[in-house]
Structure 1
Amino acid sequence: MFFAGINSLAYSQVTGATDTLKNDTVKVTKHAENLSGQYDVGDLFHKILHPKAKPDSVKKKPSGITIIPNIASNPTIGSQIGIKAVAGRVLGNEPGTFLSVAATSASITTKGIIYFYVNHNIFTPGNKYNFQGSLVVAKTVSPDYGMGIGNGNYDSPENEILTNPARKGRALNSLYFNLREKVYKEIQKGLFVGAGASFDVRRNIEERNTTATDLTPYRIYNDRYGFDDGGYSANGLLFNVQYTTRDNQNRAYKGIYADAGFRLNQTWLGSSRGALQFTTDVRKYISLSTSHPEHVIAFWNWGSYLLSGAVPYLELAGTGRDGSFRSGRGYVNQYFKGTKYNYSEVEYRFPILKNKFISGVTFFNLQTANDDLGTKLFEKWQPGYGGGLRVLFNKATRTNLCLDYAWGKYGARGFFLGLNEAF
């Protein structure tokens, strides 16, 4: 299985509407990172276009904007071409103001998939307010491998269809629209409280190569929980608390990031069903060297737990359903999913070249979920592991191009391409 496409690429940059960053006030303002010894793609292009140019006597400040082609290929989406841009800038002149980031991408594939998004994570001067949001318009395909974590015990043919991930995956075609916006206010240094709303709408959902009488995981779930096969809306209010001490959002060397919040899907907002979900996102970064801080051990845990009500099948928590859609390397998005889901990952990041142009990573992850057969959260786990290379695209914002190969269970494996670290 080879995949590096719409689900991992469409959100694989500084997207995470839930991501924030903190510049260490003392060390950043007094000892700014030395970029003179680093080499990025901009330097490479300059060398190619101006091979005889002499080094400037006065160094120009590197640009905070990165523009690259958005190219991918996999059996689900076909071949993809498009363009992607990521920007980062500190607003205002107040010391300690966090980096603001924005990203956009437009792409089309040979299988007729069209994807466009814009997202932002903006900190006002002094971090008084933080605005996080995204807009997505897409004609897309969502691979489907059933529900649950693959416990191997099936008490009926219907439940075997619903929960056996070893079955050949189906594809759900749909029109997808998402509008999300949250506003955070800093109440103490690094501590924010926020609220907002999210509107997730799918229309014209279609399972190809099936008949009206075929039993599929999607149809079984909809019948059990009262959702229309043709489309749904999952519209809700968001309430979050987050704390961060990360030194950089795109590629942290040290610090912690923690976010916890509730999502309340409301029928009066147009949601097909009411629901209450609780989510957590915790990340810790430990630099192993003062002289080479790029040697980093990073830890990540993400969880989503349905407390009441019901959410649509394609909105279930699962593989790749975190805020930046990067979890679960080794599997396609939502390979495992449930009403309750927890994900953990550890990654070692290390430089390869002295000028930091090429670096590498190795990683290992575990997923667990419940299902409709009585399997409880944390009862069964599924692993994924792999490694990859990093190409420094923009040294001013620590923007990396990420090329990873990962393996999972049931023959799942693939190549994953993204901009910026998975977490």
Structure 2
Amino acid sequence: MLHLKKTNGKGPCQLRLLQMLLFALLICLCSHTYGQVPAPADTLKTDSTAAERILAEKEAQEMASQYDLGDLVRKILRRKTDLSGSTRSGVIIIPNVASNPSIGSQIGIKAVAGKKFGRDPNTLLSVGATSASITTKGIIYFYISHNIYTSGNKWNFQGSLVAAKTVTPDYGLGIGRPTSLSETEHILNNPDRRPRGLRAQFYNFREKVYKEVSKNLFVGGGVSFDIRRKIDERDTTNSPSPYNIYSDRHGFKRDHYMANGILLNVQYTTRDNQNRAYNGIYLDAGFRANQKWMASSRNALQFTTDFRKYVSLSSRRPEHVVAFWNWNSFLLAGNIPYLELAGTAKDPGSRSGRGYTVGYFKGTQYSYSEVEYRFPILNNNFLSGVAFFHLQTTNDEAGTKVFQVMQPGGGAGLRILFNKVTRTNLCLDYAFGKFGARGFFLGLNEAF
């Protein structure tokens, strides 16, 4: 990044911040290009530090030994691979197709970008994404997301914007545990996991700002606005449903609500890459306080934790990785709307619980754990594979406590190296779980 001098009354900090925000905006406006390959160390400016030269040389060697879809296209078009320059961006665009129980069959477009800001070799990779899609179940979904680190990791900006027309299959509250209680509790907890459909308009805006207070340690805060409108069960029988029972019991209107709150978080990260880590850990813990003065329908206080650990099994082939993930959300006080309850695929990236639909298991207290083995198939890393297993647990209103019942799931997948600079993989997974749950999942970047 160029070192800008003060111009038109704007200082360097303001200009750098403007560059960060423009990067997030450009995710939506990008064209189909392939990843920039870092220049070898001998092409760097003479004022580069020794650490920068060593890092650039190592990255150039790693890039030269790998093969991604950009290399394949250039080979087909008989174009030479450029290892010398810095003219190409790190933006990629692909069709966004998928088929799974949550959405039906999906078609759309998705863009992902990665970039390091500044010249500090320890700066973490900034990533952004955007997508627009439509499905056979009538779901229309658009989002923009970003995770940006300024030079030297002094600041970290995380956020997303979502606008969607949703069709959510609802499987009730809890973990699918049989109950002999009243008919109302049986309907609410739906132990047979018979689905109902909930349609709604959904809007979300979330932004968090972190400040590095020590090496790899960040503290920060932000806001989140979750708005649902025109909620409709499409049930012509007018029979009681889990959604109506829960909403009436906890003081929410059936056709709309808002869950708006303040976020306070602590983050610690040593991951070597934000898209596909070989080593390191990631920990984020924080509180969310929904507030009526922010137009939230009810007050509520939640505590969440997100822990990820990556262990490379080989120094020669670091792509052999065992990855661990644990995500928890606990309601400490107040009430949250039914569709905002923590549960399957309700993590920030909506990638947990592959094999089950979104919200298949949910409750006010929820815990999720997953282990995944990642391994190369080809020596040039163009193809690799994964195998994964996960467990979910939650509570219900019939007396089941969190950690009392665990529901398993798992599967395997294929990875195609899409962009070797940003370590972006095209991910194809087949996953399954209990109650006949199964599905095919396609996306960019690892689940965690």
Pair in the same fold by TM > 0.5? yes
- Helix, strand or coil at the partner of 2:185: helix
CA 57–272 in structure 1, closer or farther in 2 if over 3 Å, else same: closer
Within the candidate set 407, 410, 427, 1:402 is matched to 427
1:45 corresponds to: 73
Contact 1:165 1:335 in 2 (8 A): no
Q: Which residue of 1 aligns with 2:214?
A: 188
1:286-325 aligned within 5 A: 286-325=311-350
Task: Confirm whether residue 360 of structure 1 aligns to residue 385 of structure 2.
Answer: yes
* Map 1:11-410 → 2, pairs under 5 A: 28=55, 31-32=58-59, 34-50=62-78, 53=79, 58=84, 63-74=89-100, 77-211=103-237, 213-410=238-435
CA distance in 1, matches of 2:356, 2:186: 20
Unaligned runs of 5+ in 2: 1-26, 28-50
Matched-pair identity in %: 66
- Tell me how far apart the structure 1 counterparts of residues 100 and 285 of structure 2 sit (CA, whole Å): 34
- For structure 1, the 5+ residue unaligned runs are 1-13, 15-24
Give 1:71 shift. 1.6
> Using the alignment, how far apart are the partners of 2:357 and 2:342 within structure 1?
13
When normalised by structure 1's length, the TM-score is 0.90
Query: For residues 422 and 110 of structure 1, what CA distance do their matches in structure 2 show?
Result: 24
Output the CA distance in 1 between the equivalents of 2:414 and 2:99: 19
Task: Kindly state the Cα deviation for residue 62 of structure 1 after the two structures are TM-superposed.
Answer: 6.3
Partner Cα separation in structure 2 for residue 360 and residue 271 of structure 1: 43
Q: Work out the CA distance in 2 between the residues paired with 1:365 and 1:74.
A: 18
Encode CA deviations 1:88-110: one digit per residue, 9 max, x unaligned: 10011123111111111111234
Deviation at 1:61, TM superposition (A): 7.2
Q: Distance in 1 between matches of 2:101 and 2:360?
A: 15
Classify 1:112/1:274 alpha carbon distance in 2 versus 1 (closer, same or farther; 3 Å).
same
Distance 1:315 1:117 in 2: 18
Given that 1:63 and 1:396 are in contact with CA atoms closer than 8 Å, whether structure 2 keeps it comes out as no
Cα deviation 1:397-416 (Å, max 9, x = unaligned): 00001111111111111111
**In structure 1, what residue type is equivalent to 2:161?**
L
- Aligned partner of 1:202: which letter? R
Instruction: Return closer, same or farther for 1:160/1:93 CA change in 2, 3 Å cut-off.
Output: same
Alpha-carbon displacement from aligned partner over 1:195-240 (angstroms, at most 9, x marks no partner): 00000000000111334x3111101101110111101100000000
Q: Does 1:414 align with 2:439?
A: yes
- Aligned-pair CA distance for 1:55: 5.5
1-structure distance, mates of 2:178, 2:283: 34
Aligned partner of 1:31: which letter? K
CA distance in 2, matches of 1:361, 1:87: 23
C-alpha distance in structure 2 between counterparts of 1:384 and 1:57, whole Å:
43
Deviations 1:162-220 (A, max 9, x none): 11242321111100000011110000000000100000000000111334x31111011
- In structure 2, distance between residues paired with 1:62 and 1:115: 29
Bigger CA drift: 347-356 or 62-71? 62-71
RMSD: 1.8
- Which letter does structure 2 place at the counterpart of 1:208? R
Cα distance in 1 for residues equivalent to 2:432 and 2:226: 30
Q: 1:332 to 1:56 in 2, by over 3 A?
A: closer
> In structure 2, what is the Cα distance between the partners aligned to 1:415 and 1:166?
23
Aligned residues: 397
